[in-house]
Amino acid sequence: MITRSITLDSNDFFHARPAAKIAGTANTYESVIMVMLGTEIADAKDPLSLMRLSHPKGSAVDILADGADEQKALDAVVEIIGKEFPSTI
């Protein structure tokens, strides 16, 4: 299992469009990919799960990947988050 922490801007949150793009990317990988915000956890392959996360308000978000292609999966999800929230990465 590998993890990467990123900090979203105080105005960023997982609304419909970025959640769908993150899930679309995550679903192309075999690994389990989770997004953690404090004590909340979401399946990165499920856009509704991502949308249920609280508003991060500048908090750290942890991206976890576990599986055969975990490094590629983690890199791809972080890249999509960076494209959707340019101030993040």
* Residue 89, in any domain of the structure: no
* Residue 80, in any domain of the structure: yes
* Residue 44, in any domain of the structure: yes
Q: What is the CATH number of the domain that holds 46?
A: 3.30.1340.10
* Residue 10, in any domain of the structure: yes
Contact 51, 59 (CB under 8 A): no
Alpha carbons 56 and 35: distance in angstroms, whole number? 12
Domain range for 22 is 2-84
Average pLDDT along the chain, 89 residues, taken 10 residues at a time = 89 87 97 94 96 83 96 96 76
Domain count, the chain: 1
Sequence letter at residue 49? S
* Residue 35, in any domain of the structure: yes
pLDDT at position 26: 98
Enter the tokens of residue 20.
């769908």
By CB neighbour count within 10 A (0-12 exposed, 13-18 middle, 19+ buried), where does 12 fall? buried
* Residue 6, in any domain of the structure: yes
pLDDT at position 27: 98
